Structure 1
């Protein structure tokens, strides 16, 4: 495993730590925006989930259901995006460490995929219970 150390050519992130106040909030928002953009550009699964959300959320808003049911229907859809972001982060981290095949790398990626499967199942169950 190759470990890179911080040098003049590869600065570390220590200079980004310790900021407070509105500046920190604005920087955090920028990092979040960059993460969303990276996921949308680089992850087909994330784009597919965005499209699914663009379909399901308006449907949830039009259905004759209670406010709590509507909120739950929308929340599980958004949860799928959150889990996909985390799954993509796991995959990127594993790939950053090494692209070689390793049982623990496979296990980490498979667990991220399993988490996404569970959330997609949650969407199906929640929507079915509310609508049927």
Structure 2
């Protein structure tokens, strides 16, 4: 049991270090934090139910996860292929596409709840 607890503590430390690196070195991650905060404020303005906050929080967690993985891919590509290459370009473009897809998902959700609040659709 003690071994499992130590493992969890170490894993949490690695995660905190990863988040620290992500938010120190990636402007996109900091912008996403700001957009996330503004999105939560928007839900407050709209008077949305708690369900919508939970959905937004899940979308936000997945977005930050994808951003972290994209950053990891970029770091690996920069190490493996410091020169401009088709391999590096494709890998980085795919990571960027994944982040864009998550941003689009969050945007679609916010548009849907806004339209629902305005009585344009039933959500």
TM above 0.5, one fold? yes
Match of 1:103?
A: 86
Evaluate the alpha carbon distance shift between residue 62 and residue 71 of structure 1 in structure 2; reply closer, same or farther with a 3 A threshold. Answer: farther
1:120 aligns with 2:103: yes
User: Matched residues in 1 for 2:77 and 2:85: separation?
Assistant: 10
Match of 2:66?
A: 83
User: Matched residues in 1 for 2:112 and 2:38: separation?
Assistant: 19
1:22 aligns with 2:24: no
Match of 2:33?
A: 50
Listed as ranges, the gaps of 5+ residues in structure 2 are 116-123
Between structure 1 and structure 2, the one with the greater Rg is 1
Listed as ranges, the gaps of 5+ residues in structure 1 are 1-19
Match of 2:118?
A: none
1:92 aligns with 2:75: yes
Aligned-CA RMSD value: 1.8
Match of 1:13?
A: none
User: Matched residues in 2 for 1:70 and 1:50: separation?
Assistant: 15
Cα displacement (A) at 1:61: 4.6
Q: TM-score, normalised by structure 2?
A: 0.82
Residues 73, 91 of structure 2: 8 Å contact kept:
yes
Cα displacement (A) at 1:79: 2.2
Q: Which has the higher helix share?
A: 2
1:39 aligns with 2:58: no
Cα displacement (A) at 1:110: 0.2
Match of 2:57?
A: 74
